[in-house]
């Protein structure tokens, strides 16, 4: 019996020692990170708000880390799939939108799991979007747009920067909340989706604040509502969706940094904390403001919780709408 107890204690000691070694190794890895080029994949095209945020971070983190940080645009699912299959060492990251959380619902043969195959690093920013319509469109308010959609079900279209974009989710939450039949027309990115509204090819698009302000001021589109819970100081005359027509409307778009699942927690924490420092820099805050975004850093654990929650919420929303892949 004593011999068994000694063996058990020896095994415990070995296990504890092993844990200590692993912890020490993780800490050393975090301290040494990064010691080579870090790649930030953006699953949207150049010129998108996601691309802009990534380039601001790449510039500042590269200086902070004294290493090259490059941005790689890989629009669509292939870019996200590549990150999911990358080595979980912190050297391949992805900056994406919360459209990431619905990828598994709208794609039948998805090659990655949006939750299980990724580890949250941090939310970068929340980004309110503005519902814009063609300048000559008869509806001048959101209520009038909804009324016209009800009068002509299936006749009005809305564009998006892709089926996993925040512009799509914003419109889909509106569509379901208002119980209107409007048709989704996905484009390759923000520029094409915006141009479609200007030309009148579609009747609505949820645009970033800077785009909406510039185009509405120039008379090329009309801004009719914003999806945030407060009016934007850049567009004080544009009501929130809740004010304009749907008191229960709730949608918060975010952009965040993810890493492949299995990335050492110490590395995730380091990247998260370093990004938080970058997001406090006055020039970065000014830059983000030009994108119409609000810095919103948090911890890896907090971001993981958001990803899980949003995946469940929007998954149900799309399944109820019949948008989910069969």
Q: Which of 106-115, 159-168, 197-206, 299-308 has the lowest mean pLDDT?
A: 159-168
**Does position 192 have pLDDT exceeding 90, yes or no?**
yes
- Residue ranges of the chain assigned to CATH 3.40.190.150: 32-127+253-321
Residue 307 has pLDDT above 90, yes or no: yes
Please report, rounded to a whole number, the percentage of residues in the chain having pLDDT higher than 70: 89
Confidence at residue 115, expressed as pLDDT on a 0 to 100 scale: 95
Sign of CA dihedral 103, 52, 54, 73: positive
In the chain, where does the domain assigned CATH 3.40.190.10 lie? 129-244
Q: What is the mean pLDDT of residues 95-119?
A: 91
Residue 20 has pLDDT above 60, yes or no: no
Average model confidence (pLDDT) for the chain?
Answer: 90
**Quick one: pLDDT at residue 22?**
46
Please state which CATH number belongs to domain 129-244: 3.40.190.10
Give the CATH architecture of domain 32-127+253-321.
Answer: 3-Layer(aba) Sandwich (3.40)
Segment 169-195 shows an average pLDDT of 93
* Tens of pLDDT, residues 36-89: 999 999 998 888 888 999 999 999 999 999 999 999 999 989 999 999 999 999
- Give the pTM: 0.77
Of 4-8, 286-290, 322-326, the range with the highest mean pLDDT is 286-290
Lowest pLDDT segment from 168-172, 204-208, 217-221: 168-172
> What is the pLDDT at residue 113?
94
Contacts 24+ apart (CB under 8 A), 275-281: 275/57, 275/61, 275/121, 275/122, 275/124, 276/122, 277/64, 278/57, 278/60, 278/61, 278/64, 279/124, 279/125, 281/60
pLDDT tier for residue 175 given thresholds of 50, 70 and 90: very high
Q: What percent of the chain has pLDDT over 90?
A: 69
Closest listed residue to residue 178, CA positions, set 209, 141, 208:
141
């Amino acid at each position: 019996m004593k011999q068994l107890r000694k063996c058990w204690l020896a095994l415990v000691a070995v296990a504890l020692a092993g844990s200590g070694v692993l912890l020490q190794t993780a800490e050393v890895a975090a301290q040494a990170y990064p010691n080579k080029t870090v790649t930030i994949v953006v699953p949207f095209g150049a010129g998108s708000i996601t691309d802009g945020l990534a380039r601001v971070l790449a510039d500042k983190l590269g200086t902070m880390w004294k290493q090259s940080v490059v941005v790689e645009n890989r629009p669509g699912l292939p870019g996200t799939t590549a990150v999911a299959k990358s080595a979980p060492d912190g050297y391949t990251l992805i900056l994406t939108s919360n459209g990431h959380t619905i990828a598994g619902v709208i794609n039948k043969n998805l090659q990655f799991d949006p939750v299980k195959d990724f580890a949250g690093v941090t939310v970068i920013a929340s980004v309110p979007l503005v519902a814009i319509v063609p300048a000559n469109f008869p509806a001048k308010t959101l209520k009038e747009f909804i009324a016209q959609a009800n009068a002509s079900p299936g006749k009005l279209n809305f564009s998006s920067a892709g089926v996993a974009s925040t512009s799509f989710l914003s419109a889909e939450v509106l569509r379901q909340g208002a119980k209107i039949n409007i048709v989704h027309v996905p484009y390759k990115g923000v520029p094409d989706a915006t141009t479609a509204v200007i030309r009148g090819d579609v009747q609505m698009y949820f645009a970033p604040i800077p785009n909406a302000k510039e185009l509405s001021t120039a008379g090329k589109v009309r801004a009719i509502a914003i999806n945030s819970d407060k009016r934007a100081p850049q567009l004080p005359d544009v009501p929130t969706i809740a004010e304009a027509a749907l008191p229960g409307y709730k949608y918060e778009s975010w952009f965040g940094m993810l890493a492949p699942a299995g990335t050492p927690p110490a590395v995730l924490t380091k990247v998260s904390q370093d990004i938080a420092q970058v997001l406090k820099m006055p020039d970065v805050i000014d830059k983000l403001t030009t994108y119409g975004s609000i810095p919103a850093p948090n911890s890896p654990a907090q971001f993981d919780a958001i990803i899980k929650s949003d995946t469940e919420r929007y998954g149900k929303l799309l399944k109820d709408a019949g948008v989910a892949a069969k």
